[in-house]
Amino acid sequence: MRSRLLPTILPLAAASVLAAGAALAAGRLLEGMSSAAAYEVTWVPRSEALRLASRATRLSFADYYWLSTIQYIGDPQARAQRYPKLLPLLDLVTDLDPDHGYAYQTGGIVLSAEGRLDESDRLLKKGMEKGPNWWSYPFYVAFNHYFYRGDFAEGARWAEIAARTPGASSNISHLALSLNVKSGSTEHAIAFLSELRKVAKDDVTAKALDEQYRLAVLQQEFQRLDAAVERYVAAAGRAPSRLEELVAAGHLDRLPGPDPFGGRFELREGKVHATGRDQRIGARREIPSLIRRPDPSSPKAYVPPGAPSP
């Protein structure tokens, strides 16, 4: 009698355990929805229990947390804290729905824009392993290496992987070649981002790419002004105090316009600064005793505006 009941009892017991887990998760979820402020993420569940649910239920949870992720990215307070719950949210969404291509792509871009390069790389590589076969994943990894870390060889390797992925833009192979044979001019970073902006399919991605594009233009202008300061120091034996001196001495053909973030360029103790966003990224040309190159490997190499120092 007992043996005949086992095939019936065991599935019911398993279903009861699953239902209890789902009820607990739902209760916590509703509690968070009712008590949290707008766009605040109070709790991110682990995916292990939710993955026991049916496919339809998993996709419903994934869709809910993807919408929460988008709202979280847009929350100024979350950004000021450098998105402490962003990677757990993205891992949850992509664990429940491995085919959610935009979660890998958008998450990778936002994380890199916040200077969290290792996390960005990990999420993008997870997309390459488990997600749809999108060329943009290795392309963004290439950009992280090339633009943020100044590692042109590794950037070229990933760009070549992207170029070989079905559906890749025909221009990517040319960018990969440029990274292999040239020394990392910011013109190539601008070309990278121009290409990506053309194919951005959602507002969050487009906004993050636009910010990175302006950052690349900022680096290009820093390089132009740094070179003029270096020439001035070599000729005059002292640092300039105003940008106008560079033009008057013939080391700069024109004064810079506004910086890409709405501020202005200025000299402080012989160093070029931008008031809109005073950030330098990756390998930079160093002007002896005047310009100090930031260390890309240091956690303090990138601190977003308004974010606490690491």
Identify the residue with better confidence: 272 or 174: 272
Q: Which of 153-162, 169-178, 286-295 has the highest mean pLDDT?
A: 153-162
SS3 135: coil
Q: What average pLDDT does the structure give for the chain? A: 77
Percent above pLDDT 70 for the chain: 75
Which pLDDT value is given to residue 4?
43
**Rounded average pLDDT over 252-274:** 95
Q: Which residues pair with 86 in a beta bridge?
A: none
Query: Residue 3 pLDDT > 50, yes or no?
Result: no
* Amino acid (one-letter) located at 232: Y
Which pLDDT value is given to residue 133?
95
Which pLDDT value is given to residue 8?
35
Nearest-angstrom CA–CA distance, 86 and 264? 32
Query: Residue 59 pLDDT > 80, yes or no?
Result: yes
SS3 158: helix
The structure's pTM equals 0.59
Q: Which of 51-55, 105-109, 276-280 has the lowest mean pLDDT?
A: 51-55
Nearest-angstrom CA–CA distance, 102 and 110? 12
Residue 272 DSSP class: E
**Rounded average pLDDT over 36-51:** 73
Please calculate the CA angle 64-69-72 and round it to the nearest 5 degrees.
125
Nearest-angstrom CA–CA distance, 28 and 9? 29
Query: Residue 170 pLDDT > 50, yes or no?
Result: yes
- Identify the H or E element spanning 268: strand 265-268
Which CATH architecture fits 14-190?
Alpha Horseshoe (1.25)
Which pLDDT value is given to residue 26?
38
pLDDT in tens, 279-289: 887 544 333 33
DSSP string, 72-125: HHT-HHHHHTT-TTHHHHHHHHHHH-TT-HHHHHHHHHHHHHTT-HHHHHHHHH
